[in-house]
Structure 1
Amino acid sequence: MKIHPIEYRYGTPQMRRIFSREYRIAMMLKVEATLSQVEAELGLIPEEAAEIISKNASLDVIELSRIEELEEETKHNVAAVVYALEEKCGEYGRFIHFGATSNDILDTATALQFKEGLKLLETQIRELCTILAELARGYSRTLCVARTHGVHALPYILGLKFALWLDEFMRHLQRINESYNLCVGKISGAVGTYASFGEKGRLIELEVMKRLGLPPPVFSTQVVPRDLYAELISHLLLISCSCEKIATEIRNLHRTEIGEVMEGFGSRQVGSSTMPQKRNPILSERVCGIAKVLRGLIIPTLENIPLWHERDLTNSSSERVVFPEVFILLSEQLSLLRRILTSIVVDEEALKRNVNLTGGRIMAENIFLHLIRKGLGRREAHTLVSEISSRKGSFQENVLRDKALHKYLSEQEIKDILTPARYVGLAGEIIEEIIKRFHNLVSAT
């Protein structure tokens, strides 16, 4: 029976597999096998023991049901895995887990899961960046209105929205790259002193990590320092917030009164069980809803940094919830954004209508600046343009009729100044620069 939505509704199948119980146990067994191989080569256990342990350290050999039986009996998840493997290794079973503590295995298995999860997220983000680059270029000359405080501000270019989102997600690619270095394991014994491994302890740890493809370990207590986990999770939650940022903008632009950019709607899709006309931005709303959950998960992650002495167990239960939820729900957000952006609908008539909605008032700044250049004081110019913009009717017509303005600007100058397409600044150059940097990033990798 499935209960949590990440088991059946949210997240990609690939990410769910990485955080499944079977995969985690498989990673624990992989760590046990690698440890035995290194210990055998350095003379801590017989070579035959390492061969037998490695041969049997697999769920193809060990039945998951047996591990579950042993965990019920021992009330200890690592001991259950060790005992189940020991049962398959005969006389050499006593050399399993030699010198290790539970979190040598658990934290290193977590690092392997993190690494694989980051690879999937990186792939998703790269795909999203490609889509954003295409949208930025495709709408690089499409005029729209920029809004600040929800109110019309200045003329804008729709492609710049996509380009700035692309720029943000390129920063997230950099954060993902940095996060690989936070996928740290440990093989340092019960309190991090390597006492159980003797003088070769640090060498064992370094070699195990090297063979597992993990970065060099930091010094630890019984557990990997949790500030590393908090930093990694923070990186992922920043990505989640950026997903919410895009989804929030699409939800706003999807509003009936705006109607500029909308989610696609399937031919057999239903928007409401009772209102047939409804076309709701449900995917964007789902992205935003998931973000609320993900943000809350930073609290237990930060609170796991301070543990008693060389460790306590208060981190364990929360991490069992936090880690799968963060990776799986973030993969869901990225998957949703891909669906949204590949089927997005842009209503160019609505864009034009909204550019002209205020009768030219979005050009007030340009008039204001030109008056200053012509010699009118800043405060006087601001007061004059503000007063004209408050008048009823078309701003452009009111400007053209105002005698005070004609002392400084001719009718033709005013008409040129009030042309929205001429007041988008360096938007086109910004778009091209961001796209170029993305293509350079792709080429470099």
Structure 2
Amino acid sequence: MDCPVFTRYATEEMLRIFSEEAKIQRWLKVEAALAEAQAELGIIPKEAAEEISKKANLNFVSIKRIKEIEERIDHDLLAVVNALAEVCDKGYGRYVHMGATSYDIEDTAWAMAFRDALLIIKDKLTKLTRILIEKAKEYKELVCIGRTHGQHALPITYGMKFALWSYDIFGCIKRLDFFLNNSIEGKMSGAVGTFAGFGDKGIELQKKVMEKLNLKSALISNQIVQRDKFADIIYLLAIIASCLEKIAKEIRNLQRTEIGEVLEPFYKEQAGSSAMPHKRNPHRSERICSLARYLRSLVHVALENVALEHERDLTNSANERIILTHSFILVDFMLLEIISIIKGLIINVKNVQKNLNLMKGANLSERILIKLVEKGIPRHIGYEIIKNAAIKSFEENLDFVELLYENELIRKSITKEELRQLVNPYEYIGLSKEIVDLTINQIEQSIS
């Protein structure tokens, strides 16, 4: 049975990084860099390094032969080492992997994969940020009802919604950049981190190997790069997934029939339900929310891998084959989905306006309360008057302003015309437009 992560969600870009062939090719590349560095330091013959480097690719080392060896010895990295050694002429194969341990190769190869995959993720995050910024500009003046606790609150604008999301995604880019610059490390320090297999040239050797692979060296390690680094990356990807879910969940809620302000793109031959032809389900946003749940669950596994025994045990290995590839592949897919959704998002302006006025002005209670206080009415008294009028207006479908004006204290303090003006939602959006402009300008300067 095929894994849906690879068959349903993996893009070609991610498959080029996380396929079995790509993994083995990275291992071979690390072995070649090790041999080259050892030759430069006089640890192995120059001719041996040239032969190893020449043969360390899948043109010479066959996947079939690697699997045959692995079937016999039950060790995938050593199978690659042995298969590479077999194809090296003049006995130079004996120098392959000399002094190294498996995780010198595997963890360094993981660092290469992390770097390449994160750059792909960053490119999509940047694209999404730009799309959200354009939407923020387009809808900067579209006033809508804000909601807190699922209830109508004060007016905001759709421009603010998009600008806030762009700020969230920009924050993800900044976190990603920090990780790229500080947390991706390889190692070449041997079985317990002492460089013993490389003699007194170990530190210099590790530096050379990492330079060849354009990686940073771990300052200190045991048999592995410490797993807090790996937990960092799973956590980073889970945060990105959660930010995407935040957008998708809002789209889902705004697409509810009784709200109807937003619609996912819906194509001519698309179907929403097998039973109900009228359905136009936000299934793509739902998919993003579903995958985000799974991705967050992987953070727990990654944290469990941090506390390995002594200089390491193998309890991280099996699950890392799953959680690392799945996290990258799924976040990449989620980004493609949300980019497509936002680009084709439909906003029903009529429903936006209808919902904005649904409470007949009662949702402008804050503005009225402030004005009543300015008119000399104690805040707690004004609060009760407004609250009671709002409840009666909602329950009996009565005009909110008329109900307010039935109160003698209100009539003595303010005119009905003033009240009508105070419940105009288009005049109580605060600094929404300025906030959108400020947010857009700062983000655009940073990502330009």
- TM > 0.5 fold call: yes
Question: Which whole-Å deviations, capped at 9, do the CAs of 1:99-152 have from their partners, x for residues lacking one?
Answer: 100000000001101111101100110110011001111000001100111000
What residue number does 1:399 align with? Answer: 404
The alignment status of 1:423 with 2:428, answered yes or no, reads: yes
SS of residue in 1 equivalent to 2:147: strand
Identical pairs, percent: 42
Give the structure 1 partner of residue 367 of structure 2: 366
Distance 2:149 2:238 in 1: 25
- State TM-score, norm by structure 2: 0.97
> What is the distance in 2 between the residues matched to 1:263 and 1:231?
33
Q: Which letter does structure 1 place at the counterpart of 2:28?
A: L
Tell me how far apart the structure 2 counterparts of residues 11 and 160 of structure 1 sit (CA, whole Å): 33
**Distance in structure 1 (CA, Å) of the matches to 2:85 and 2:215:** 26
Give yes or no for contact 2:373–2:379 (8 Å, CA) kept in 1: yes
What amino acid is aligned across from residue 200 of structure 2 in structure 1? E
C-alpha deviation, 1:236, in angstroms: 1.1
Q: Tell me how far apart the structure 2 counterparts of residues 60 and 310 of structure 1 sit (CA, whole Å).
A: 36
Matches within 5 A, 1:65-80: 65-80=64-79
Q: Give distance in 2, aligned partners of 1:12 and 1:361.
A: 49
> What is aligned with 2:322?
321
Corresponding residue of 1:170: 170
Which residue in 2 is equivalent to 1:131? 131
- Could you tell me which amino acid in structure 2 is paired with residue 320 of structure 1? R
Partners of 1:133 and 1:435 within 8 A in 2 = yes
1:285-344, Cα deviation, whole Å (9 max, x unpaired): 000111111111011100000111000000000100100110001111111101111111
Q: Which residue in 1 is equivalent to 2:120?
A: 120
1 CA distance for matches of 2:38 and 2:413? Answer: 87
1:210 deviates by: 1.5
Distance across 1 between alignment mates of 2:59 and 2:413: 85
Q: Report the Cα distance in structure 2 between the residues aligned to 1:313 and 1:248, rounded to whole angstroms.
A: 38
The 1-side partners of 2:312 and 2:150 are apart by 49
Q: CA deviation at 1:401?
A: 4.2
Report the counterpart of residue 357 of structure 1 in structure 2.
358
Q: Which residue of 2 is the match for residue 345 of structure 1?
A: 346
Q: Which moved more, 1:373-382 or 1:42-51?
A: 373-382
1:425 is paired with a residue whose SS is coil
Partner of 1:12: 11
Shift of the alpha carbon at 1:396?
2.7
> Root-mean-square deviation (CA), in Å?
1.0
Count residues with an aligned counterpart. 442
Cross-structure match for 1:145: 145
Residue among 429, 438, 445 paired with 1:440: 445
Query: Residue 93 of structure 2 aligns with which residue?
Result: 93
The aligned residue for residue 218 of structure 1 is 219
Aligned to 2:188: 187
Aligned residue identity for 1:333: M
Aligned residues of 2:254 and 2:262 also touching (Cα < 8 A) = yes
2:258 is matched with 257
Q: Which amino acid aligns with 1:5?
A: P
- Return 144-153 or 369-378, whichever deviates more: 369-378
What is the CA-CA distance between 1:412 and the residue it aligns to? 2.9
Shift of 1:438: 1.7
SS of residue in 2 equivalent to 1:364: helix
User: Distance between the aligned counterparts of 1:336 and 1:183, measured in 2?
Assistant: 27
Q: In structure 1, what is the Cα distance between the partners aligned to 2:158 and 2:363?
A: 16
Amino acid at match of 1:370: K
Give the Cα separation in 2 of the matches to 1:45 and 1:86: 14
Report the alpha carbon displacement of residue 371 of structure 1 after superposing the two structures with TM: 0.8
Checking the alignment, whether the CA contact within 8 Å between 2:187 and 2:217 is kept in structure 1 is no
The 2-side partners of 1:280 and 1:300 are apart by 33
Partner SS, residue 31 of structure 1: helix
Question: How far apart in 2 are the matches of 1:431 and 1:15?
Answer: 34
Name stretches of at least 5 consecutive residues in structure 2 with no aligned partner.
none
TM-score (norm 1): 0.98
